[in-house]
């Protein structure tokens, strides 16, 4: 029996605490890949599932981001005075 090796991909995800409760979450590298959850943990599990489903239908050349490439991206607040 031939075993298929699995590739581990890593994506930065953006969690937003919603005013009505829970979290929404999106993946900037995967346009249209969004999810939500009542708790942070639920939102995290839901976005993992959403990413998996997204990638099953996506063109492999469009989504391959290595963990090293992903670690080069980060979010940081920047203040400006207006």
Query: What pLDDT sits at residue 78?
Result: 77
Tokens read off for 44: 């995290």
Tokens read off for 63: 């989504």
* Domain extent at residue 71: 1-82
Residue 25 belongs to domain with CATH number:
3.30.160.250
Question: pLDDT digit string (tens) for 39-67?
Answer: 999 999 999 999 999 888 877 666 666 66
Tokens 């943990």 locate to 41
Query: What pLDDT sits at residue 80?
Result: 82
Residues 18-34 have a mean pLDDT of 92
What is the C-alpha separation between 40 and 25, in angstroms, rounded?
Answer: 9
The total number of structural domains that make up the chain: 1
Query: What pLDDT sits at residue 31?
Result: 84
């Amino acid at each position: 029996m031939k075993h298929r090796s699995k590739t581990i991909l890593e994506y930065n995800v953006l969690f937003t605490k919603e005013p009505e409760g829970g979290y929404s979450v999106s993946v900037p590298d995967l346009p249209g890949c969004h999810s939500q959850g009542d708790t942070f943990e639920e939102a995290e599990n839901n976005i993992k599932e959403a990413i998996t489903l997204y990638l099953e239908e996506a063109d492999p050349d469009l989504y391959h981001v290595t963990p090293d490439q992903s670690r080069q991206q980060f979010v940081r607040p920047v203040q400006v005075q207006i």
